[in-house]
């Protein structure tokens, strides 16, 4: 069965430091991959998506993610975090029926 694993429930990063959020998926074919962000008490915003082509994708707010087929990973990165990046981040896979399979989320905490 398809699944998405975000191994870190919480991550704490100092403001200005770099960030990497991990995501591994289990899916037979080439997946469509997404990262969504949910700020406290807010809805869900699409950060970036990968369908095909260049495996390094750029998103909004300075985020990027890299698709690595050999590792079944789609990790999210940002070179320097801001306090406003504190939120919960979800890695998502779209299956062959266009249904979204969600990871459990990683809560990002920013230290001043």
Partner 1 sequence: DAGITQSPRHKVTETGTPVTLRCHQTENHRYMYWYRQDPGHGLRLIHYSYGVKDTDKGEVSDGYSVSRSKTEDFLLTLESATSSQTSVYFCASTGTKQETQYFGPGTRLLVL
Q: Is 103 in the site for partner 1 (CB under 8 A)?
A: yes
CA distances in angstroms from 41 to 26, 44, 111, listed in the order given: 30, 10, 20
Q: Give me 92's structure tokens.
A: 């998502």
Q: Are 65 and 75 in contact (CB under 8 A)?
A: yes
Q: Which residue in 2, 19, 32, 72 binds partner 1 (CB under 8 A)?
A: 32
Q: Is 46 in the site for partner 1 (CB under 8 A)?
A: yes
Please tell me the count of residues contacting partner 1 according to CB under 8 A: 20
Q: Which is nearer to partner 1, 13 or 92 (CB)?
A: 92
Q: How far is the CB of 38 from partner 1 (least distance, A)?
A: 8
Q: Which is nearer to partner 1, 70 or 99 (CB)?
A: 99
Q: Is 109 in the site for partner 1 (CB under 8 A)?
A: no
CA distances in angstroms from 7 to 10, 31, 46, 98, listed in the order given: 9, 19, 20, 24
CA distance 66 to 103: 17
Length of the chain: 112
Q: Are 48 and 58 in contact (CB under 8 A)?
A: yes
Q: How far is the CB of 94 from partner 1 (least distance, A)?
A: 8
Instruction: List interacting residues with partner 1 (CB under 8 A).
Output: 4, 32, 34, 36, 42-46, 49, 51, 90, 92, 98-100, 102-105
């Amino acid at each position: 069965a398809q699944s998405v694993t975000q191994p870190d429930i919480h991550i704490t990063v100092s403001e200005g430091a770099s960030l990497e959020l991990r995501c591994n998926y289990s899916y037979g074919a080439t997946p469509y991959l997404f990262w969504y962000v949910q700020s406290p008490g807010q809805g869900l915003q699409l950060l970036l998506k990968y369908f095909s082509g260049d495996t390094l994708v750029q998103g909004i707010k300075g985020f990027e993610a890299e698709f690595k087929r050999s590792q079944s990973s789609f990790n999210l990165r940002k070179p320097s975090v801001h306090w406003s990046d504190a939120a919960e981040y979800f890695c998502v896979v779209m299956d062959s029926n266009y249904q979204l399979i969600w990871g459990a989320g990683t809560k990002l905490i920013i230290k001043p």
